[in-house]
Amino acid sequence: MSPPENRISPLKNPVTSLWGVGAERAAQLARLEIASIEDLLLHRPRRYEDRRHFKKISELTRTAPGTARGTIVALGLNRFRGGKSVFEIVLDDGSARLHCRWWNLPFMQNYFSNGDEVFVFGRLSQIKPRTMDHPESEVIESGEEGFIHINRIAPVYPLTEGLPQRWLRGFIWRTLEKFETQIVEPKPAPDLKFFPTRANAVRMVHFPGEMPDTDTARRRLALDEFVELQSQMQSRRKRFEASARALPCGGDNRMMKPFLAALGFKLTESQTRVLRETRADLGGAHPMRRLLQGDVGSGKTVVAACTALMAIESGFNVALMAPTEILAEQHFRNFKKWFEPLGIKIELQTGSTKTALGNAAHDPSPTIFVGTHALFTEGFRLPNLGLVIIDEQHKFGVAQREQLVRKGNYPHLLVMTATPIPRTLGLTLYGDLDVAVIDKMPLGRGKIKTFVRATDKLPKVLEFIREKISTGRQAYVIYPRVEDTGEVKAVTAEFENLRKVFAPFRVGLLHGRMKGTEKEAVMAEFRGNKIQVLLSTSLVEVGLDVSNATVMLIESPEQFGLAQLHQLRGRIGRGAHESHCILISDAKNPEARERLKILEETTDGFKIAEADLKLRGPGELLGREQSGLPKFRFGDLITDMDLIRQARQLVQAATESPRGQT
């Protein structure tokens, strides 16, 4: 017997192969991202309606939505002057009458006739007479398929224009009847003592016997999604390990020793432990694939430098990629200071800066290439590459990461992030990476105190900042992102204002619409304390390191995510002085205030990330651009931690004890 996975499943066929799907229906289904039969069978209901027990019209309330059923006893369309209209039907179920109204949707009259039986779902907008505005509705047609829609728990699907609920429900029913037996158990599959079969789960998710079935079914289908993702990651990793031999990059300490001696501080225990792990990786059989996680300010750059030295000592070049030009320049300067005395060359490549890269290919001296993604654009060669380091990984997608590593002959890879991702989520997103964590901050850091203040306190806050500057410190003033020219005007006006407020101290301006060289000039002045106050957009969010800056004022903080605010705040508190972060917000809504309070209460990035995850979901936490985040139909990265764990165990068990060839 041939194993099932060698046959292409009929579920992979397009929906257009099914009877009744012409071009128009196909286009509608495509808008719902339904292309294959499988997509259709996994189209998840938005909610369920228990049509075995509906309410009497007389029992409907204004508070909770409910389903009722009645016969149309009157209907009509009223047109008003100015093109407005209202279409109304009156339902009677013997207990009372219900008026249902649709405003400015005159075509609704095409869907109803006197005497029709109708389901409506909604809440009353008024009691006398009983009225629902814009209820969800469905005409009950008798006929052979009537049982699909009534006297059961009926699924209510997400729709798109022109696609009737009733048609889709019938279509899914018929397709399920025909293909249910083709829904096979995936490999690996969970223990059926604890889960329904996949085929059962698919049926239950559409046509549950009882309400709790819908959750049982969802969990099974979610588990399958997680298993599939884990399997993909595992096999990607296996393929990679089978095909890629590691370059020997363990190093011999001849540069590391003088580097550490000149550094001016001792590495923390966390940093040393991580370096032991990366050294083992760099000397291992497979190229390193490692994620380095450490809160803002925990000292990831120095770890990157030490790792780079190991590769360089071993005779290879290194590439370091940062998400912004400013950050690339900062790394460039740091590495120049650290590495040039050791005879290592530093090259910078950003969108606006290009050093003589053509020469690099012919130059035998060890080199570290620092830059933005411009480092990896076509036509630019990175010769003899042993190690690639990506800073602030969350700013790049997985695809970019892959593209970059393919540049070389399987170089080692170290990706660094300050976004402390809860462990299970990390396993899902970065399952193909080993994780190392810097979990302790360097000693001797001043505390950061955070306050939320209303706008009317702004003059006092500015006075406070002025005081701090007078004692020699520096400050950031942060505005939400500048995207269009209107906003540039706003931030420029604010700049003029702050200049007056802080004179004779100097204020600098930094935003994304400025040229790379302009930005760099402003940063240089700020670093050199020629500028005392830096007015900036969230551009400074990542990586900047000016330890004399101890005050940060953030305007409209409710426009940022918590994790992002934490990153911003991480620009201060880098020296021995006490630091202050003031969030100026007039947010009235209690949720927004609650969110900001979390920042007052803790500087623990992990706690903040978890709160952010709960409040805004993983997409926001990891950045909009994060393309590595898969889309789940049934799985939920926040509430399904237990399923993610089970999926991992299943996949691991399956790969560790292969059940032989089928």
Residue number closest to ligand ADP, CB atom: 299
Q: Residue 543 or residue 623: which is nearer to Mg ion going by CB?
A: 543
Rounded least distance, CB 433 to Mg ion, Å: 18
Rounded least distance, CB 298 to ligand ADP, Å: 4
- Confirm if 96 and 68 have CB atoms less than 8 A apart: no
Selection from ligand ADP, Mg ion, none that 267 binds (CB < 5 to 8 A by kind) is: ligand ADP
Q: Residue 330 or residue 536: which is nearer to ligand ADP going by CB?
A: 330
Torsion-angle region of 119 (φ positive above 0: left; ψ -120 to 50: alpha; else: beta): beta
Residue 208 tokens, joined: 């549950």
Rounded least distance, CB 534 to ligand ADP, Å: 17
Write the CB contacts of 541 (distance below 8 Å, at least 6 apart in sequence). Answer: 564, 567, 568
Rounded least distance, CB 295 to ligand ADP, Å: 7
Rounded least distance, CB 167 to ligand ADP, Å: 55
Helices (H), 207-283: 211-243, 256-262, 269-282
Residue positions counted in the chain: 662
Selection from Mg ion, ligand ADP, none that 553 binds (CB < 5 to 8 A by kind) is: none
b (16+ CB within 10 A) / e for 549-566: bbbbbbbebbbbbbbbbb
Selection from Mg ion, ligand ADP, none that 442 binds (CB < 5 to 8 A by kind) is: ligand ADP
Interface ranges with Mg ion (CB under 5 A) = 543
- Confirm if 23 and 162 have CB atoms less than 8 A apart: no
Q: Residue 49 or residue 295: which is nearer to ligand ADP going by CB?
A: 295
Q: Residue 230 or residue 536: which is nearer to ligand ADP going by CB?
A: 536
Selection from ligand ADP, Mg ion, none that 232 binds (CB < 5 to 8 A by kind) is: none
Q: Residue 194 or residue 265: which is nearer to ligand ADP going by CB?
A: 265
Cα 524 from Cα 512, distance rounded (Å): 16
Selection from Mg ion, ligand ADP, none that 422 binds (CB < 5 to 8 A by kind) is: none
Rounded least distance, CB 253 to ligand ADP, Å: 18
Rounded least distance, CB 271 to ligand ADP, Å: 6
Residue number closest to Mg ion, CB atom: 543
Selection from ligand ADP, Mg ion, none that 323 binds (CB < 5 to 8 A by kind) is: none
Strand, coil or helix: what is 647?
Answer: helix
Rounded least distance, CB 644 to ligand ADP, Å: 27
Q: Residue 419 or residue 428: which is nearer to ligand ADP going by CB?
A: 419
Selection from Mg ion, ligand ADP, none that 547 binds (CB < 5 to 8 A by kind) is: ligand ADP
What is the Cα 457 distance to its own chain's centre? 34
Rounded least distance, CB 61 to Mg ion, Å: 56
Selection from ligand ADP, Mg ion, none that 206 binds (CB < 5 to 8 A by kind) is: none
Interface ranges with ligand ADP (CB under 6 A) = 265, 267-268, 271, 294, 296-302, 418, 442, 543, 545, 547, 574
Q: Residue 220 or residue 574: which is nearer to ligand ADP going by CB?
A: 574
Nearest to 401 by CA among 437, 442, 373: 373
Selection from ligand ADP, Mg ion, none that 265 binds (CB < 5 to 8 A by kind) is: ligand ADP
- Confirm if 224 and 197 have CB atoms less than 8 A apart: no
Selection from Mg ion, ligand ADP, none that 230 binds (CB < 5 to 8 A by kind) is: none
Cα 15 from Cα 33, distance rounded (Å): 11
Reported as type and span, the H/E element at residue 583 is: strand 579-584
Sheet (strand 367-371) strand order: 345-349, 367-371, 317-321, 385-390, 412-417, 289-294, 434-438
Q: Residue 35 or residue 260: which is nearer to ligand ADP going by CB?
A: 260
Rounded least distance, CB 411 to ligand ADP, Å: 21
Strands 136-140 and 117-122: antiparallel
Cα 649 from Cα 425, distance rounded (Å): 15
Q: Residue 463 or residue 604: which is nearer to Mg ion going by CB?
A: 604
Sheet (strand 136-140) strand order: 131-133, 97-103, 85-92, 66-79, 117-122, 136-140
Rounded least distance, CB 546 to ligand ADP, Å: 9
Cα 261 from Cα 210, distance rounded (Å): 70
Nearest to 241 by CA among 655, 661, 658, 657: 655
Selection from Mg ion, ligand ADP, none that 37 binds (CB < 5 to 8 A by kind) is: none
- Confirm if 436 and 291 have CB atoms less than 8 A apart: yes
Q: Residue 433 or residue 437: which is nearer to ligand ADP going by CB?
A: 437
Nearest to 551 by CA among 455, 495, 470: 470
Rounded least distance, CB 503 to Mg ion, Å: 33
**From the CA atom positions of the chain, what is the Rg in Å?**
31
Selection from Mg ion, ligand ADP, none that 344 binds (CB < 5 to 8 A by kind) is: none
Distances 575 to 192, 550, 571, 609 between C-alpha atoms, Å: 57, 8, 10, 24
Q: Residue 426 or residue 573: which is nearer to ligand ADP going by CB?
A: 573
Q: Residue 95 or residue 547: which is nearer to ligand ADP going by CB?
A: 547
